[in-house]
Structure 1
Amino acid sequence: MTDYPAILGVFSLRRNEEVGTGATQARHDQLTYWYARQLSPDVVEIQPLNVYHVPSGIKKLCPLDEFLRSYTPEPRYYEANTVPALNSLRAKIDQGEKFFSMGLLDDAEKAFLKALMIDEMSVPANYGLGDVYSEQKDFQKLRRVLTVLMGLDDAFSVEYRQKLNTFGVNLRKQGFFDESIAFFNKALELRKDDENIYFNLARVHFDKGEIEKCIGILNIATTLNPEFVEARKFMRYCERMTTQ
């Protein structure tokens, strides 16, 4: 049985477009390159490549039969351009995360910025840079990164579930309560059934002293997952606070 998603590689799409009018009208071939992943037996996800040959930008879903009719495989392009670029991007992100774990924030910032030069929409690089600015309490730079992340639906996908929660928690721990609340609320627009996001959002409201809101949100988390022991303990603690 095939595990999905499965990387198909780089494919090209050639379109003929008419340019000009009347006597000056001419046909022009436009060739674009796309990164393709098969999500299911019938659906392929395609994403355009940027000038650095890495997938970046809006992803689209395409029926498999239409994809096979319209797109041409480019294995040499993929091996010669995209694979090395993706490896370089990954290496810079790994380096940034290593520096961050060592407390070398300036070096981590430089590594993440180098990664963003290859793909400014890279979710892990933006998360990494956001963590750096959160630790440095550099609100102006952090706000710019937050704006980017809030505009990337991929940042709230299952693939980045751990980074999502860690980033939001770091915002809370550094005292950026309103930013953490906005971030978790954005996540819930796309992930309404994730009890962990509700739990982490409740923690922010607790730290702000908004106990009633905290209890209400914990109630949602425990409704979604009745076995969420930590959330139930936290809710009982908060309820005792309100009766004192």
Structure 2
Amino acid sequence: MSQEMKVLGVYSQNIKTRIGAGTTSQKSDHKTYHYVIRVGYSKYHVQPLNEQDIPSGMITVISEKDFIAQFSPELYYYQRKTLPALKTLQAKISKGEEAFEKGKLDDAEHAFAGALLLDPDNPKANLGMGTVQCTKENFDKLTEIIQVLLNLDAVFLEEQRQEFNLFAIVLRKSKRYNEALTFYKKALEIYPNDENLHFNIARAYFDTDNSEEALSHINKALDINPELESATLFQKYLLKKKKKKPATAVKNKKQSIQTPQKRK
């Protein structure tokens, strides 16, 4: 794979449909899962997962704007489902390689077929390799792809955290605060002790008029890094705002009591 390609893992998409017609129609939500690779800086290759939770079938290329709007990260889905499935696939590849080296071509072809045909009910479904042929060339290509798909090390997780954070910033600037919080929280699942993430989450909560949650995350940011000046200033502002609220409420209450009721 090109060095310009970056594995982002598994993302989900909610598809809303309407069943029936007229007053009896009902809305239905269906979640689908996809394996995602970013190509360059603005194109995303999205490939559905099959029943075995392995990337299979047609790859769709979409823009960054559409990708952020339509897809949500599924970090643990990749770890708990896709990764084990890929390891099983890798075992099939190793079996085929072993048979090939021993000159057992029939056994090798059988093993390669089991690895390449990821969906027995759909022979054309594959890892985006075009028409499937059980050849050593395709086997080598599949081996290379699997090595990328199995990439779940510290570097991969850090790249995911950065992607989630960048997506969240774009969404927050677009005033889509709830979606931004979704991405921020996914990034926080990877690195819960990132003071900058807590700071960004605090800003998003503040934008939704949730000062309590904003203050909570600012406090966490300062617990991690007491020297974070921007967080200190934000904390002071939030505390000052919090003190003003009760005083204003009491003042309004007094005015309400003192205002004489008009006689009917």
* TM-score, normalising length: structure 1: 0.49
The structure with the larger Rg is 2
| TM-score, scaled relative to structure 2 | 0.45
Using CA pairs under 8 Å that are at least 6 residues apart, name the structure with larger relative contact order, 1 or 2: 2
